[in-house]
Copies of this chain bind each other. A is one copy, B any other.
Amino acid sequence: MEASDARLWIIEALGMRLAEPAGDTLSQRLYAELRALIQQRRLTPGSVLPSSRQLATALGVGRNTVLAAVDRLIAEGFLLSRPGAGVFVAHWQPMAEALDAGDVPVSRLSRRGMRILDFSATLSERHAAFAPGVPALDCLPRERWQRLLRRHQQRAPAGWFDYTTEGGLPALREALCDYLRLSRSVRCDPGRIVITQGAQQGFELIARLLADVGDSVWIEEPGYGGAQACFHSAGLAMTPVPVDEAGMDVASLPTDTPTPRLIYVTPSHQYPRGVTLSLPRRTALLELAQRHDAWIVEDDYDSEFRYASAPIAAMQGLREDARVIYVGTFSKVLYPGMRLGYLVLPPALVDPFRRANARLHREGQYVVQAALADFIAEGHFVRHVARMRERYRQRQARLRDALAPAVAAGLSLSSGQAGMHLVARLDSVELEGALVTRAREAGVQLSPLSRFYLQAPGEPGLVLGYAAASEAQIDTAGAWLSDAWFEWVGKR
């Protein structure tokens, strides 16, 4: 094709396309159409473009419109400008063969990627009966919270919008420290706290900064998939430790178990079993950590909600020299979408954790942090916890009432001294599977206990979250579950 032909032909081709109505600017469309012609090889490498003046006149657009499009194509390498000679289509190599990227099979995921998806089976997806781990979002003090957010949005210094590396807003770390000392018996000062974007980020930091690929982490069996996904994705080897009525039972491990670098535990209220780690086991675990130069990761996710007595003190506070990193979250006490959590660290680890957090994850949400600092310092936080504790106690009682017929006939429920869920024991994985499937059809979310086990077969049962469900939802879903259970018992 000769250059002169190209000149006529291109104007015709472009003119037709530009006449079609569209939302883009003329220059953007001209750019896109020219690029398409080049990419489709309809404009061959080496051919000369009409001058910008010619194009503008022929297409009935401004010359600046043409220049903007052409300049961009020059910058991108599709066109070449040779001063004095005009603008040419560049010599560029199209790719050899096409492959439909839209059809990437999931098997192209990494092995660990596939495994991470396994852990997502226990995700709560709706704040209904019986999603576990979700707080009462209908009871949030939204007006007060909005007022605090507004206050700090208006006053925010520019630094809050910037990259920061200070481990979280000092005011939040101070307010939180007072709360943790008083209510959770955590040994703390504001300088030992690092604010994270949720507890998950805390687990990620711990796994990377304190363990290398192949190092061993002991976890509870059954246990929390979110933490396990982090450990697995960091390349750690997980050793499941059985949980009985007194919590994680380290003594039951065979003697050839790999020594731990990390020990992940939910001592106040084991997730999902709901038991409390006994004092002898706590001290034994602290000793074990010292002996092996390991770290205990204490996940204190919902300890605020204890109904029979005051909240159990954190392991971290048991001894000054406890090799414990305390992990907390605001997801359970306020709301998950806030994405704020925190670590309480031994002093020597604070600076490395701050710097690594800034490098790996970046800090942020200082306006929300400031609102939260006031929310705690002004006493709203403690009041909200107290209100929710009463509310959850009532919701648990409501769930027990709804399940009372089944319980009278043999269904076994966990003690429910604490937390936001009950565990119902089931006799078989078949029953578990049948109930979960039928519940889904009935719009009830049942979380199978067996899925919380790393090693098959897990114990069958149901993890029944009651905190997020309204009383009416609990009544309906509870009655449905009781009936469904009876049907199965009747069938046998």
Residues of A within 8 A of B (CB): 23-24, 27-28, 31-32, 35, 39, 68-69, 71-72, 74-78, 90, 92-106, 108-113, 116-117, 119-120, 123-127, 133-134, 137-138, 140, 146, 149-150, 153-154, 158-165, 182, 185, 197-198, 200-201, 204, 208-213, 215, 225-226, 229-230, 233-235, 261, 276, 278-280, 282-284, 286-287, 290, 293, 306, 308-313, 318-324, 331, 335-339, 346-349, 352, 355-356, 358-367, 417, 468
Contacts and interface: CB of A to CB of B under 8 A. Distances in A.
Contact of A208 (B68, B110, B146, B182): B110
Contacts of A204: 204, 360
A138 B364 CA distance: 17
Contact of A109 (B209, B234, B337, B468): B209
Contacts of A364: 197-198, 336-339
A466 to B, nearest CB: 15
A447 B182 CA distance: 44
A248 B68 CA distance: 27
A347 B153 contact: no
A105 B197 contact: no
Given A24-B182, A74-B309, A200-B360, 10 more contacts: A72-B313, A98-B320, A98-B321, A101-B321, A101-B322, A109-B210, A110-B261, A116-B356, A197-B364, A234-B234
Which 6 pairs of residues, A with B, have the shortest CB-CB distance? A77-B279, A339-B364, A113-B209, A161-B335, A104-B348, A72-B310
A229 B361 CA distance: 10
A197 B197 contact: yes
A265 to B, nearest CB: 15
B280 A93 contact: yes
A312 B124 CA distance: 41
Nearest to A215: B110
A283 B93 contact: yes
Nearest to A355: B120
Given A104-B348, A280-B93, A309-B71, A162 B185 contact: no
A285 B340 CA distance: 39
A361 B205 CA distance: 12
A103 B345 CA distance: 11
Given A134-B162, A358-B123, A101 B323 contact: yes
A116 B209 contact: yes
A358 B120 contact: yes
A200 B321 CA distance: 34
A338 B365 CA distance: 6
Given A225-B359, A312-B75, A347-B102, A110 B211 contact: yes
Contacts of A72: 309-313
B159 A127 contact: yes
11 contacts: A27-B310, A77-B278, A95-B286, A101-B321, A109-B210, A110-B215, A146-B150, A149-B153, A162-B335, A233-B360, A234-B234
Nearest to A306: B75
Contact of A113 (B96, B108, B208): B208
A272 to B, nearest CB: 16
Contacts of A365: 337, 339, 365
Contacts of A321: 95, 98-102
A71 B182 contact: no
Contacts of A355: 117, 120, 123
Contacts of A99: 290, 321, 323
B77 A113 contact: no
Contacts of A161: 137, 140, 335-338
Contact of A352 (B109, B154, B233): B109
A193 to B, nearest CB: 15
A319 B146 CA distance: 46
A204 B356 CA distance: 14
A146 B153 contact: yes
Given A104-B349, A200-B361, A362-B339, A279 B312 contact: no
Contact of A110 (B212, B229, B230, B337): B212
Contacts of A76: 279, 312-313
A119 B359 contact: yes
A198 to B, nearest CB: 5
B359 A226 contact: yes
A390 to B, nearest CB: 16
Contacts of A234: 233-235
A278 B91 CA distance: 12
